[in-house]
Chain A
Amino acid sequence: MKILITATAPALEADVDHRFGRCDYFLIVDTVNLEWIAHPNPGINASGGAGTLAAQFASNQKVEAAISGDFGPNAYNALQAAGIAMYLLGTSRTGREAVEKFKANQLTSVSAPTGQGHHGRR
């Protein structure tokens, strides 16, 4: 299964990034063999719509789940429409920890936006 994790650097051992639309990197991880690839976030400097752009990216990558610290209303609605399940990073420190917790069903799934959105602000 292919999943997406937001990270602060392009490595599975790197610290996770709790921002979804404004994270530094997206890690695309295969949960079976832990093969991964990192993509710089195309929307990190977007003037707006970073959440929808990130959701578009996740959809294009054909991931089945997205793991991050916060999903605003636009990102949530887009991911929901794309049929991508959302989970919170919780106490996961690195991408690898997040994958392990995900596989062990230890992450909280998201069924509503977790924030008000940022409209270009932090």
Chain B
Amino acid sequence: MIISIASGKGGTGKTTIATSLALSLTAELTPPPLFLDCDVEAPNAHLFLHPRLFEQQDVDLLIPEVDESKCTYCGKCAEVCQYHAIVVLGQKTLVFPQLCHGCGSCTALCPVKAITEIPDRMGVLERGLAKAGITFARGVLDVGEPMAVPVIRQLKKWAVPQAGQVTIRDAPPGTSCPVVETVRGSDYLLLVTEPTPFGLHDLRLAAQVAGELGAPAGVIINRENGPYPEMDEFCGHQQLPVLLRIPFERAIAEGVAQGKTLVEIHPEYTAVFRRMIQQIKDSQS
């Protein structure tokens, strides 16, 4: 079972939920869960799960290299590139690696085979063991690289669960391509929100993504400090179950600021998360 934790709005508590969910499941699951930090632009789950990372692998994108001695400057490569990462300017063919998505169209369609593909590093994958036997893996995008998706895609391929191992994917904020790539292939999507107009606005967007991907989803309302009927109305209307409400509480904020997970601050949440997972499983069967 693969559970992704996404939010739309940033700072709602995705990592707080994801890390505590993983810890809650360790005692009752063999093997303990696989945790993927897919927020490769700003990974932070390690601050809570303290993994020992002992395996590494570079993430390369295959970008075109043009052999000027063979190139006839016909312009086919520039014409087929959807990302405008290769241009033919008179008697020069230029490649812009940071625009390239590594699709290989230019290489495949060059009529004189003047293009070869060379690996261009854009980030790194890391894997190890975290608290309570959790298998921990994350991607880290190199500084200055603009594209997160290839790193997330490789992370999903590299860190695969063992038979019967539950996977928890901590998604980046937002609703754009990196979130879609993280969520794709999940069995269930947990949408973490906060009861504010911003939280609701972005929950609407995140719910649309879930709908487009056909992923069943439920909502966790974090930092609840009183009724916010608009949010419950939205969830009711969209048939999104509100699985958990976490109160706005100083003790939680202080604990998280010290690098503690929710289940370490309030151990009673372990049972709450287990019940929530059972509820999800029951709703799926």
Q: Which residues of A contact B (CB under 8 A)?
A: 43, 46-50, 52-53, 55-56, 59, 74, 77-78, 81-83, 119
Task: Known contacts A48-B83, A49-B85, A56-B78; decide if A82 and B90 are in contact (CB<8 Å).
Answer: yes
Q: Given contacts A43-B84, A48-B83, A59-B88, list 4 more A-B pairs with CB under 8 A.
A: A49-B84, A56-B87, A81-B92, A82-B92
Q: Is the CB of B87 within 8 A of A52?
A: yes
**What residues of A have a CB within 8 angstroms of the CB of B92 in the complex?**
81-82
Interchain Cβ contacts within 8 Å, total number: 50
Chain B nearest Cβ from A102, distance in angstroms: 21
6 pairs, A vs B, C-beta closer than 8 Å: A43-B84, A46-B84, A56-B78, A59-B87, A78-B87, A83-B89
- Is B146 part of the binding interface, using a Cβ–Cβ cutoff of 8 Å? yes
Choose among B78, B88, B94, B99 the residue that contacts A48 (Cβ–Cβ < 8 A).
Answer: B99
- Is B234 part of the binding interface, using a Cβ–Cβ cutoff of 8 Å? no
Choose among A43, A46, A47, A82 the residue that contacts B89 (Cβ–Cβ < 8 A).
Answer: A82
Q: Which residues of B contact A (CB under 8 A)?
A: 78, 81, 83-85, 87-90, 92, 94, 96, 98-99, 146
Choose among B83, B89, B146 the residue that contacts A55 (Cβ–Cβ < 8 A).
Answer: B89
Among A56, A74, A77, A82, max chain B CB count under 10 A is at A56
CA distance A83 to B94 in the complex (A): 13
CA distance A50 to B99 in the complex (A): 10
Q: Is the CB of A48 within 8 A of B84?
A: yes
CA distance A49 to B95 in the complex (A): 11
Choose among B85, B88, B90, B98 the residue that contacts A83 (Cβ–Cβ < 8 A).
Answer: B90
Chain B nearest Cβ from A59, distance in angstroms: 4
Q: Which 3 A-B pairs have the closest CB atoms?
A: A49-B84, A82-B89, A53-B84
CA distance A55 to B87 in the complex (A): 8
CA distance A101 to B90 in the complex (A): 28
Considering only CB atoms, which chain A residue lies closest to B87 in the complex?
A: A56
Q: Is the CB of B146 within 8 A of A119?
A: yes
Considering only CB atoms, which chain B residue lies closest to A74 in the complex?
A: B96
**What residues of B have a CB within 8 angstroms of the CB of A119 in the complex?**
146
CA distance A113 to B113 in the complex (A): 33
Choose among B83, B84, B98, B146 the residue that contacts A56 (Cβ–Cβ < 8 A).
Answer: B84
**What residues of A have a CB within 8 angstroms of the CB of B96 in the complex?**
49, 52, 74, 77-78
